[in-house]
Structure 1
Amino acid sequence: MAGWEGSNRRQTLPPNWAEIRSRILKRDGGRCQWVRGDTQRKCLRPATDVDHRISSADGGTDDDSNLQSLCGWHHRWKSSHEGGQASGAARRAHKQAAPKPVHPGLVADRRELEPPPF
């Protein structure tokens, strides 16, 4: 799915998001604030998006201090990475919750597998 397609995230943004977005882009000089892990340098490409540093699902807020301007590439990378982590966590939780089937040859009492006598 591309962009906002299939997402309900837009409905969870504050009603004045356009004003907040404009303010953050202006605060950051219209430049991407992504910091490279290896060099600790900012990307500084032209920013097109405003993103939450800590997602609301993880307790982040819509305060200016939790918002950053990102270029489209870094915003897509960050969103994809977060989505992959959430998907993996859901898979692991489902796997842990599902009971493991017992092979018939490993059942201690084989009578449990036999139909009751008539």
Structure 2
Amino acid sequence: MSGGWQGSDRVDRLPPGWKKIRAEVLARDVICVLCGVRPSSHCDHIKAKTDDHQPSKLQGVCAECHGRKSSAEGNAAQRANPRPGRRRPPEQHPGLR
């Protein structure tokens, strides 16, 4: 497993036999399905944020494309569900209280 999964709660979501599933996907998709140039080294969910680990729902991608895709998905999720600002509301002037 890659270093990003070690010590992570995401490891708990992996099914039994994950190493075999991952190996099957990387053997099927030898070249990155996103760029078609670099060798696949990461096993990626086609649809983000799913825990469906069927090989048909996974794809082999290179590290660069995986990082770019995951970043875009994370940014889209933040735009869809913005968190409230961290700034304190302005205080009312003491003479107006």
TM over 0.5: yes
For 1:72 and 1:60, how far apart are their aligned partners in 2?
20
- Higher relative contact order (CA closer than 8 Å, sequence separation 6+): 2
Letter in 2 for 1:70: V
Q: Does 1:47 align with 2:48?
A: no
Mark the runs of 5 or more structure 2 residues left unpaired by the alignment. none
Instruction: Give the deviation of 1:5 after TM superposition.
Output: 7.0
Question: Percent same amino acid among aligned pairs?
Answer: 36
**What's the counterpart of residue 24 of structure 1?**
25
**1:42-70 Cα shifts (integer Å, max 9, x gaps):** 42311111100012x3x562111110000
The answer to whether the Cα contact below 8 Å between 1:49 and 1:70 also exists between their aligned partners in 2 is yes
TM superposition score normalised by structure 1: 0.60
1:60/1:14 CA distance change after superposition, 3 Å = closer
Instruction: Give the deviation of 1:12 after TM superposition.
Output: 1.0
SS in structure 2 opposite 1:68?
strand
- How is 1:1-118 mapped onto 2 (pairs within 5 angstroms)? 3-4=4-5, 7-28=8-29, 30-34=30-34, 42-55=35-48, 57=49, 59=50, 61-90=52-81, 92=82, 94=84
Number of matched residues? 92
TM superposition score normalised by structure 2: 0.70
- Following TM superposition, the consecutive aligned residue runs of length 4 or more in structure 1 with deviations greater than 3 angstroms are 2-7
Letter in 1 for 2:41: T
Structure 1 or 2, whichever has the larger Rg, is: 1
